[in-house]
């Protein structure tokens, strides 16, 4: 009596018991890692910011005023009633 | 909104969602700036001044990824709702993510912390009887 396993060729054995499990593991790993890849920012802190400034909730006409505002900032003008905090990393 | 080429659309969307969520949650107007802050705190204050009439009620979260600096500026009125202690707490949560290389996560964590800490008193006097 010839069993199914004994009639299996070497190539078929490799596909069924080696490549197929590896493919399944690879797919599971890809699906597991995909969300973290999507969450990861394309920009890494520490790189020079070469593009235009990003505004979310910008004041009106922010594209024209951003550069002017930064250029017109005078050292020591921070002594007013506004609050906040600063940090570096 | 001005899109920065340094970030992907999905990153900008995450920041927009965080800003909208925290505004809905605590009623404070948040604004996020990501770009150079040449003079540090003074540049952030100058940017905050550009909000004009909305400046007193606006909280600006500014991040300069190049010089690894973050600034939070609260308007005169917003400071009553988001005090300096809350801002310091928010910068701590931001720095923990930013130092790990997670720029968007740092900004979103900062906004969430500010929203958590914001104390926006209700205007009871507007609830007038008929």
Count of domains for chain A? 1
CATH code, B114: 3.10.310.50
Query: Is A44 a domain residue?
Result: no
Q: In A, which residues are within 8 Å of B106 by CB distance?
A: 45
Place of tokens 């925290």: B22
Closest residue to B19, CB basis, from A57, A74, A78: A57
Cα B95 to Cα B7, B108, B109: the distances in Å are: 19, 12, 10
Query: Is A23 a domain residue?
Result: yes
- Residue A16: Cβ within 10 Å count: 11
Cβ-Cβ pairs closer than 8 A, A with B, add up to: 192
pLDDT of residue B129: 61
CB contact under 8 A, A44 and B101: yes
Range in A44-48, B11-15, B31-35 the model is least confident about: A44-48
Query: Is B130 a domain residue?
Result: no
Residue pair B49/A69 in contact (Cβ under 8 Å)? The answer is yes
Query: Is B81 a domain residue?
Result: yes
Residue pair B38/B45 in contact (Cβ under 8 Å)? The answer is no
Query: Is A73 a domain residue?
Result: no
Query: Is A53 a domain residue?
Result: no
Query: Is A13 a domain residue?
Result: yes
The range of the structural domain enclosing residue A31 comes to 9-39
Q: In A, which residues are within 8 Å of B50 by CB distance?
A: 59, 62, 65-66, 69
- Chain B nearest-CA distance from A37, in A, is 12
Give per-residue pLDDT as tens, A11-62: 888 888 999 999 999 999 999 988 877 766 666 666 777 788 889 988 876 5
The whole-number average pLDDT for the span B57-73 is 92
Query: Is B73 a domain residue?
Result: yes
| Stated pTM of the model | 0.71
pLDDT of residue A10: 86
Between CA A77 and CA B5 the distance in angstroms is 31
Between CA B2 and CA A60 the distance in angstroms is 11
Residue pair A50/B7 in contact (Cβ under 8 Å)? The answer is no
B61 touches A: beta carbon within 8 Å: no
CB contact under 8 A, A75 and B39: yes
Query: Is A85 a domain residue?
Result: no
Residue pair B106/B14 in contact (Cβ under 8 Å)? The answer is no
ipTM above 0.85? no
CB contact under 8 A, A87 and B15: no
Cα B130 to Cα A38, B7, B124, B125, B126: the distances in Å are: 53, 51, 15, 13, 12
CB contact under 8 A, A56 and B36: no
The range of the structural domain enclosing residue B111 comes to 9-118
Is the predicted pLDDT of residue B128 greater than 80, yes or no? Answer: no
Query: Is A2 a domain residue?
Result: no
Cα A71 to Cα A9, A15, A27, B6, B40: the distances in Å are: 75, 65, 51, 22, 12
pLDDT of residue A79: 54
CB contact under 8 A, A78 and B10: no
CB contact under 8 A, B69 and A74: no
Place of tokens 């007013």: A80
Query: Is A18 a domain residue?
Result: yes
* Per-state percent for chain B, helix, strand, coil, to nearest 5: 55, 15, 30
Between CA B55 and CA B60 the distance in angstroms is 9
- Within B27-129, residue ranges assigned H as helices are 41-49, 78-81, 84-98, 103-117
Cβ-proximal residues to A88 (8 Å cutoff; 6+ apart), any chain: B67, B68, B69, B70, B95
The whole-number average pLDDT for the span B77-98 is 92
Query: Is B68 a domain residue?
Result: yes
Query: Is B129 a domain residue?
Result: no
The whole-number average pLDDT for the span B38-64 is 91
CB contact under 8 A, A77 and B52: no
Count of domains for chain B? 1
Q: Which of B40, B65, B82, B96 to substitute to test the interface with A, most A CBs within 10 Å?
A: B65
């Amino acid at each position: 009596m010839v069993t199914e396993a004994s009639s299996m060729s070497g190539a078929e054995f490799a596909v069924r018991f080696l490549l197929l499990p590896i493919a399944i593991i690879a797919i599971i790993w890809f699906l597991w890692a995909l969300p973290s890849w999507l969450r990861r920012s394309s920009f890494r802190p520490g790189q020079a910011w070469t593009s235009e400034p990003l505004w979310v909730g910008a004041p009106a006409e922010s594209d024209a005023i951003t550069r002017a505002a930064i250029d017109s900032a005078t050292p020591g003008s921070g002594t007013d009633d506004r609050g906040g905090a600063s940090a570096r990393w | 909104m001005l899109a920065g080429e340094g970030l992907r659309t999905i990153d900008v969307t995450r920041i927009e969602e965080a800003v909208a969520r925290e505004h809905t949650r605590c009623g404070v107007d948040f604004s996020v700036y990501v770009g150079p802050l040449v003079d540090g705190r003074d540049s952030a204050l100058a940017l905050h001044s550009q909000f004009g009439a909305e400046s007193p009620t606006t909280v600006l979260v500014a991040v300069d990824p190049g010089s690894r600096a973050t600034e939070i500026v609260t308007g005169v009125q917003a400071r009553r709702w988001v005090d300096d202690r809350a801002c310091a707490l928010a910068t701590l949560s931001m720095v923990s993510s930013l130092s790990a290389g997670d720029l968007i996560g740092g900004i979103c964590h900062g906004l969430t912390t500010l929203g958590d800490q914001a104390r926006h008193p209700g205007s009871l006097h507007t609830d007038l009887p008929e």
